[in-house]
Structures are given as C-alpha cells and as structure tokens.
Amino acid sequence: MTSENGSRIVITGATGNVGTSLVRQLSEDPEVGSVLGMARRIPEWFPPKTAWTGVDLSSEDADLAEEFAGATAVVHLAWAFQPTHDPAVTWRTNVLGSIRVFEAIAAANVPTLVHASSVGAYSPGPKDRAVDESWPTHGWPGAAYCREKAYLERALDSFEQAHPEIRVVRIRPAFLFKKESASEQRRIFGGRFLPGPLARPELLPFLPDIPGLRVQALHTDDAARAYRAALTADVRGAFNLAAEPPLDASVLGEMLGARPVRMPPRAARSAIAAAWGLHLLPASPDLFDAVLRLPLMDCTRAQAELGWHPERTAVEVVEEFLQGMRQGAGAETEPLRGRKVG
C-alpha cells in the first residue's frame, strides 16, 4: 500500500463531516505521502501533506481519471442530502456522480476503492437484535437517501465483477456526529433557522417515545479511523460501524433528564409531513419512515478484521453533538461552517 514516498490518497467529499476527520487523521499519518481532497468549494484549511482540488461530481465535464492518476486509493465520501424536494438533483450528484467516480477509478488503475455506504442501504430489519453485513441492502424505497445508497450497492456489485483486480471496501456506518458537524446537520435536517439553544436538556420536559425509533450512532472520528484502517488492511467487502448503546427514548430520556411520553408514529409523521410540505423542515417524512425501519447493526467483522473499536459511546456522541448545536460549532470548510441561531 505504500510507495517510496508513501501512499497517495484521494478523498471525494473531503470537506464534509467524515472527510474533515479523515483528512486530519491521514495528514498526521507518517505512512501517508500525500492527500488530495476533492470538494465543490476549496476550503481555507491546509493540513500537512494535503492539497485541494475543486470538483463537482454532478458535472459530466469533470476529468476524474486525471485527478485519480497515481493514487494508491480513493475514498469516496461525497454526498448531497438536499434538496429533498427535488430527488432528481440528488440522484445526479449521488448516483450518477458516484458511477463516474467508479469508472474513473478503473480508468486510472487505482488499486483500492473505499466507498461510503450507510446503514440506510439496509432493508428493513429488527430492532431487538443486530444484523451482520449479509443483511439485504435494498433500502427503504420511499426515501431518496436510502434508494440512492442501495442503488450504489448494486452498482458496486457489478463494478467488482467487472474489475476483480480492484479491492473494494464498503463502509456502512450508523448516524455520524461530532461537535464540528452540529451546525451543518442542524441545517440539513432541522432547517437553517432552527435555534441551536433548543438543544438544552432543561427545555425538554418530555421526550416523544415513538415505536420503532431505536437507532445507532457513532462519533465521526471513530468512523474515520475505520476508513483509515480499511486503506491498509488486506480486506474486501462491507463493514458495519456503530457504537453502543442503541439510542431510544429510554436512553435519551435518562441522558437529558426528560420523561418519555408514548407517541404514535402516525402522529409524529403527520407533523413532519406538514412541516416538510411547508418547506419549514428539510428532513422528509419518507426519511422518518426509513429510520423507523432501519435494523441494528452487528460490528463484529470490523472489530475482527480491521481491529476497530469505537472510542466513544453513543451517549457521549450525542452529548457532544448537542453541545455543538448550542454553541453553533463548526469547522474551516464551507459545509461545516458554524452558525449560531437564537
């Protein structure tokens, strides 16, 4: 994996939530010779051994093969969550753009592809036990995010058959949070005008307890360590990533000092659908439907083959994220730009 001058790693979506954590870790790795970060907007952040190039994956004019030439590996993280009201736009960036990335990797003879899949690629599954990487990846068809992640799983199936010489690794993390991503994720899912101070525990006298709302979370830095391990380990295939414990109303209520109150899924969905229909909430009701059906993931394979273990619990991750929301935390890239509202 290394050359005389160290490995050359190219990262798409390098200025986002996972990208910034991975760039920082690789820039501090003595085995890495250089990092090329690809993003639509070049940041004012220059870690050691890191160069930037401005690329829009939705554009057919981007010469990705030239950017990938000489790379030891490409880590494909780029993803557009919005606009949720126009899924054709996200399809062009996320699906067609990803397929262009895969084709360019083959054209440039890059030996390793590490692809950012997601728990969202999985078909509906159990909430009372964890599933391994063999669980079907057909997504929840109503949600654009899940459709796109699942479609790319099928695209990679074909890609691996056509290019067995390329080592393909699929990382399937749970929901990823860190303090620096709080402002971005508030804008993506809650809207840019949602006041960050509302994340204060004392303002939550009760917490909606919605059947099926039991999910997993992970600190972004912990996910980045798994991506980093996948670059050098002699592995292929998919890896689940999540921290303990699974998050539900009971766990969050204890953490926030709020009393769980049972709420029917239909009532919660109706409220989300109304807000989304009025363009007051970016997160769609279809994504809410998907979250209620996501399976819990077993991470045994990542622990055994990547030597990976999360350093933070899911509760610690949420506590850090809520602190970031209250402070309007961010980072020195355009997607993660901090902004305090309220």
What's the CATH code of the domain at 126?
3.40.50.720
Average pLDDT, stretch 137-145?
96
3-state secondary structure of 49: coil
Q: What is the structure's pLDDT at 3?
A: 42
Asked if residue 156 lies in contact with residue 95, where contact means CB atoms within 8 angstroms, the answer is no
238 inside domain: yes
46 inside domain: yes
Q: What is the structure's pLDDT at 4?
A: 46
Q: What is the structure's pLDDT at 194?
A: 62
pLDDT for 117 beyond 70: yes
Q: What is the structure's pLDDT at 2?
A: 38
Asked if residue 114 lies in contact with residue 74, where contact means CB atoms within 8 angstroms, the answer is yes
309 inside domain: yes
16 inside domain: yes
232 inside domain: yes
3-state secondary structure of 238: strand
Average pLDDT, stretch 289-303?
98
Q: What is the structure's pLDDT at 198?
A: 56
237 inside domain: yes
pLDDT for 70 beyond 60: yes
Q: How many helices (H) and strands (E) does the chain have?
A: 12, 13
pLDDT for 62 beyond 90: no
Q: Could you give the percent of the chain with pLDDT greater than 70?
A: 94
Q: What's the pLDDT tens digit per position in 239-294? A: 999 999 999 999 999 988 888 999 999 999 999 999 999 888 899 999 999 999 99
Asked if residue 196 lies in contact with residue 340, where contact means CB atoms within 8 angstroms, the answer is yes
Where in the sequence is the domain holding 164, given as residue range(s)? 7-178+216-246+295-314
pLDDT for 158 beyond 90: yes
Sign of the dihedral through C-alpha 113, 119, 125, 127: positive
| Burial (Cβ within 10 Å: 0-12, 13-18, ≥19) of residue 14 | buried
Q: What is the structure's pLDDT at 207?
A: 85
pLDDT for 206 beyond 90: no
186 inside domain: no
pLDDT band at residue 307, thresholds of 50, 70 and 90? very high
Average pLDDT, stretch 4-19?
91
Half-sphere exposure of 93 (CA within 13 A, CB side): 20
Higher-pLDDT residue of 325 and 116 is: 116
How many domains in the chain? 1
106 inside domain: yes
Output the pTM of the full model.
0.94
